[in-house]
Amino acid sequence: MSSEDSRPSLGSGAKGTKRFRGRVLSPGEGPVSATNVANLITVARILVAPLVLWLVILDGGDDGVWRYLAAVLFFLGMVTDGIDGALARSRNLITKSGTLLDPMADKVITGGAFIGLAVIDEVPWWIVSVVIGREIVITVFRLVVLAHREIPVTRGGKWKTFSQGLALGALLVPFDVFLGAWWTWLAVGLLGIAVFLTVATGLDYLIRGLRGEKK
């Protein structure tokens, strides 16, 4: 074997690094870096999830500074939804990795908040199971059944995400300390609506997928 034959191939490495070359912020038609600003915002939103989970558990239901910090981070993670997508579309920074990560961000943030609240016994574990189980079922359904076609996102799906964010926001911010028991009842009511929409939209998606509805 010649010395040339014994050298490791650099093809795969070059392919990998190529993904990180290209435009990061500027608009245009050329190559787009996987680390463009829209994708970085999406990744930052995903990284918020374990922080929210950790802070809620750290506070332990004492309604102290950690709880408020968790609520602020959760709020920032949710309200920035759409900023990454808007940047990607307006500056033509759309990438395959961004398309995969963007819908994952909301699910990870809300999932982390639900788990944290369940750990400190402020949300029943069966609700956490319903919410996370729904996302797992839909994800597997997309990969297995809808591998070669796509079911469009409905308004119901967007309302589901909005209702979960609203309910979790009301649960995370301990305004009942200042506003009384009615705030707790409001949070419970919002949680009920979120659970209903979570199940209803999940069933709707499965039914439309099995019927063969296409985009």
Q: Which string of DSSP letters, residue by residue, matches 108-162?
A: HHHHHHHHHHHHTTSS-HHHHHHHHHHHHHHHHHHHHTSTT--PPPPHHHHHHHH
Beta strands in the chain (DSSP E): none
Range 29-211 has CATH code 1.20.120.1760: yes
Please report the pLDDT score of residue 88 as a whole number: 74
Confidence label for 169 from pLDDT (cuts 50, 70 and 90):
very high
Cβ 132 vs Cβ 195: under 8 Å: no
H helix or E strand, kind and range, residue 19: none
Say how far apart CA 164 and CA 166 lie, in whole Å: 5
**Residue-level pLDDT at 150:** 66
Tell me the Ramachandran region of residue 214: left when phi exceeds 0, alpha when psi lies from -120 to 50, beta otherwise. Answer: beta
| Residue 78 and residue 169 in contact, taking contact as beta carbons nearer than 8 Å | yes
pLDDT tens digits, one per residue of 30-70: 666 777 778 888 889 899 999 999 999 999 988 889 999 99
Three-state DSSP at 32 gives strand
Query: What is the Cα–Cα distance from 111 to 132, expressed in whole angstroms?
Result: 7
Average pLDDT, the chain: 81
The answer to whether 84 and 41 have CB atoms below 8 angstroms apart is yes
Say whether 43 sits in a helix, a strand or coil: helix
Does pLDDT of 189 surpass 90? yes
- The pTM for the full model equals 0.80
In this model, does residue 14 exceed pLDDT 60? Answer: no
Chain-centroid distance of CA 74 in Å reads 11
pLDDT band at 22 (very low <50, low <70, confident <90, very high): low
Share of the chain above pLDDT 90, in %: 41
**Tokens found for residue 179:** 């506003």
Two tokens, residue 55: 């802070």
pLDDT of 138-164, one tens digit each?
888 888 876 666 666 678 888 999 999
DSSP-based three-state secondary structure for 107: helix
- Residue 8 DSSP symbol: P
Q: Where in the chain are the domains?
A: 29-211
pLDDT of res. 153: 67
CA-wise closest residue to 113 among 153, 62, 73, 157: 73
User: For residue range 70-107, what is the model confidence (pLDDT) as tens digits?
Assistant: 999 999 998 887 787 777 777 777 777 777 787 788 89
What's the CA gap between 49 and 159, in Å, rounded?
A: 20
pLDDT at 65: 92
